[in-house]
Amino acid sequence: MARVINRTTPEIVVNNRHSGLDFISIDEKGFYFPKQISFSIKAATNKYIHFINDDDYWAFYVNEDKDGFPFSMDKQSYRVNDRALSRLFLRTTNRECGDRLLVKYTKAKHNGGYLYEIHTKESVEQITTLELDVLKKKRPYENRKRITESI
């Protein structure tokens, strides 16, 4: 059976630079922040990132407090190079190196910086079109049934 491919197809949305969704990548060396989210979180070499962890819940905020992890420039994006932090994240979330995880902006502030939640339950590649729409808040929840019936 043929399927419809358009801008809301999961494979297209995941690879689309202008999808409106921010993600980070984690490897054995640390965290990688692509250009789009680096701009969103106002990353800079004079700023520091702080992580909040409670079991598999992870969030972060950025400010100028030197107790945090420093950003390092990597081409046009930023990295946080810390093997211990990376191992802790991968162990507590049961994720693998190279996973791309969604980051959600919250309006909450913590120590002068906005709080960003990391979706640790699923990677970018595992999220369906409907879940992407809900994350973007373009379609209300009650329309899910109507949308799935029309597909």
Residues 30, 24: contact at Cβ < 8 Å? no
pLDDT in the model for residue 41: 83
Asked if 104 contacts 117 with a C-beta cutoff of 8 angstroms, the reply is yes
Residue 60 — φ and ψ, nearest 5°? -150, 160
Residue 136 contacts residue 105 (beta carbons within 8 Å): no
pLDDT in the model for residue 12: 55
**Distance set, CA 44 to CA 21, 41, 55, 79, 99 (Å):** 20, 9, 28, 10, 23
Specify whether the backbone of 3 is left (phi greater than 0), alpha (psi in -120 to 50) or beta.
beta
Which pLDDT score is estimated for 37?
83
Rounded distance between C-alpha atoms, residue 40 and residue 112, angstroms: 16
Q: What is the pLDDT of residue 128?
A: 52
DSSP code for 49: E
Terminal C-alpha separation, the chain: 13
Q: How far apart are CA 16 and CA 95, in angstroms?
A: 23
Q: Are 111 and 89 spatial neighbours (Cβ–Cβ below 8 Å)? A: no
Distance CA 89, CA 96 (A): 10
Q: Which residues of the chain, if any, have pLDDT below 70?
A: 1-21, 123-151
pLDDT for 49: 92
- The rounded distance, in Å, linking the Cα atoms of 151 and 146 is 9
- Predicted TM-score (pTM) of the model is 0.69
